[in-house]
Amino acid sequence: MAEMPSRQPDKFRQEITRLKERLLTLAGMAEEAIHRAVQAFLRRDRELARRVIHGDREINDLEEAIDGDCVRLIALYQPVAADLRQIMAADHIIAELERIGDLAVNIAEEALSLEPPGGRDFHPQMARLAELVLTMVRRSLTAYVEQNPALAREVCRADAEVDELYRHLTQEVLREMVADEVISFGEAQISVARHLERVGDHATNIAEQVVYAAEGESIRHRCQG
């Protein structure tokens, strides 16, 4: 690939800075969507759930706009090495953030299916699972901002705890469903736990891209090692 044209190097740096700023805006939106969706579910807050669902369009629109920026920057400036990795990593990360937004919608939809407050209690580890996952998301984004591959690898390792808690919670809820024959409530909890586990996977994917951008090393499928 040809080297990036020497003309307008300052313009390119400005464009990269703007790209990162827009990515962080998207990150804040996706993180807030997951947080609100979890609160809507745990509080059985139907109005908050609806706001999460309605807000997904804005996340999708911004993701598409940033993706277009990435394509344009590569075509216009023909970056190489670290510059190219930065843009490619950003393009991958925004896709992960858009999927996190989708999972927030899924959780919000489960909140709409619940009975009003005063019904059965949630599994005691549901809030813990949500907090672990949200911490992974926040730390993966901090690793991106700081270009900190060591922190990114910590995010990867945290995914094992999320997976184990998800399996434990699911097994216990299934036993409760069999014992008490409360099927729909148990199904909603298992569905939300599964969505949260997937959010953790997306946070791991973001962390992998941070390592790739910083070090040029792909650690996909071995991030936890």
Map tokens 């945290």 to a residue.
158
Q: Are 184 and 113 in contact (CB under 8 A)?
A: yes
- The pLDDT score that the predictor gives to residue 216 is 84
Question: Does 225 fall in a domain?
Answer: no
Residues with Cβ within 8 Å of residue 16, at least 6 apart in sequence: 73, 83, 86, 87
112 Ramachandran zone, left/alpha/beta (phi>0; psi -120 to 50): alpha
- The pLDDT score that the predictor gives to residue 66 is 98
Question: Does 129 fall in a domain?
Answer: yes
Question: Does 172 fall in a domain?
Answer: yes
- The pLDDT score that the predictor gives to residue 140 is 97
- The pLDDT score that the predictor gives to residue 120 is 83
- The pLDDT score that the predictor gives to residue 221 is 59
Can you give the residue range of the structural domain that contains 134? 9-215
Give the model confidence (pLDDT) of 7-56 as tens digits. Answer: 567 999 999 999 999 999 999 999 999 999 999 999 999 999 999 999 99
Q: What's the rounded Cα separation, in Å, for the pair 215 and 133? A: 25
Q: Are 42 and 127 in contact (CB under 8 A)?
A: yes
Report the CATH number at residue 130: 1.20.58.220
Which mean pLDDT values do the consecutive 10-residue runs of the chain (225 residues) have?
A: 56 95 98 98 96 98 98 95 94 98 98 81 96 98 95 97 98 91 90 98 97 85 57
Question: Does 111 fall in a domain?
Answer: yes
Give the model confidence (pLDDT) of 52-65 as tens digits. Answer: 999 999 999 999 99
For the CA atoms of 169, 123, 224, 151, the dihedral, rounded to the nearest 10 degrees, stands at 180
Question: Does 224 fall in a domain?
Answer: no
Question: Does 150 fall in a domain?
Answer: yes
This prediction's pTM:
0.92
Q: What Å distances lie between residue 182 and 41, 121, 179, 223, CA to CA? A: 17, 12, 8, 38
Closest to 199 in 3D by CA, of 110, 127, 97: 97
Question: Does 19 fall in a domain?
Answer: yes
Q: What's the rounded Cα separation, in Å, for the pair 20 and 224? A: 26
- The pLDDT score that the predictor gives to residue 2 is 46
Q: What's the rounded Cα separation, in Å, for the pair 148 and 48? A: 34
- The pLDDT score that the predictor gives to residue 117 is 67
Question: Does 223 fall in a domain?
Answer: no
